[in-house]
């Protein structure tokens, strides 16, 4: 990947996206009520998971409506990020990237989706120092990533999703070769 900017702040300053991808914006609008209600339904859960990755769909579907509601109630009742991730990843098929997508779709101001593309850019600009390929994330990786997104969101007075999306779209522009080995 070429490195067009001397640091990531310059990249964000020059490339900041303030709009949202229309289908994603529609989902965010649809899911706005979830946080206020304090839980999500199985149908909402399936939509959020499939938005991030449809591959494990059969695992997502194996979760009962009752367990999804119970887990999501606990997710929205805690302020502890580690607990949120532990709860979400206790559901069948939900990995850290899918959990991050659920959090972003229900609160794009505070969350972005952890993604190979964004992680690789953060690595290239020395904002993270592990996992150059951007795969197999631990809670600590996700938490460090989230803190970076929130830091830059604060610097640019936007939501975390806008930072994540800016970096995601920029990576798509400059990517050379295959995304996965």
Q: How confident is the model over 95-111, as pLDDT tens digits?
A: 999 999 999 999 999 99
- What is the reported pLDDT for 57? 94
The 10s digit of each residue's pLDDT in 85-97 is 999 999 999 999 9
- What is the reported pLDDT for 132? 82
Assess whether pLDDT exceeds 90 at residue 61.
yes
130 and 62 share one domain: no
Stated pTM of the model: 0.94
84 and 158 share one domain: no
Distance of CA 181 to the CA centre of its chain: 22
- What is the reported pLDDT for 40? 97
14 and 30 share one domain: no
- Cβ(2)–Cβ(115) below 8 Å: no
Q: Is residue 3 part of a domain?
A: no
Hunting for tokens 């990249």 — which residue is that?
Answer: 11
Q: For the beta carbon of residue 41, count every other beta carbon within 10 angstroms.
A: 14
Q: Of 106, 124, 155, which residue sits at a domain end? A: 106
Phi, psi angles (nearest 5°) of residue 178: -80, 145
Structural domain including 119 reads 8-19+110-174
Q: Is residue 154 part of a domain?
A: yes
């Amino acid at each position: 990947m070429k490195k067009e900017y001397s640091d990531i702040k310059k990249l964000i300053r020059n490339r900041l996206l303030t709009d949202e991808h229309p289908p994603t914006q529609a989902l965010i609008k649809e899911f706005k009520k979830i946080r206020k209600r304090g839980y999500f339904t199985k149908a909402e859960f399936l939509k959020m998971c499939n938005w991030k990755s449809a591959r494990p769909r059969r695992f997502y579907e194996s979760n009962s409506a009752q367990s999804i509601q119970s887990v999501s109630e606990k997710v929205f009742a805690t302020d502890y990020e580690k607990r949120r991730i532990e709860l979400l990843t206790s559901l069948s098929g939900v990995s850290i990237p899918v959990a991050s997508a659920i959090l972003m779709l229900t609160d794009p101001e505070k969350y972005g989706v952890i993604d190979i593309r964004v992680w690789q850019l953060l690595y290239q600009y020395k904002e993270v120092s592990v996992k150059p390929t951007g795969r197999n994330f631990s809670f600590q990786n996700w938490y460090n990533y989230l803190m970076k997104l929130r830091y830059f969101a604060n610097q640019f007075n936007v939501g975390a999703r806008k930072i994540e999306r800016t970096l995601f779209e920029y990576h798509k522009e400059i990517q050379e070769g295959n995304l996965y080995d």
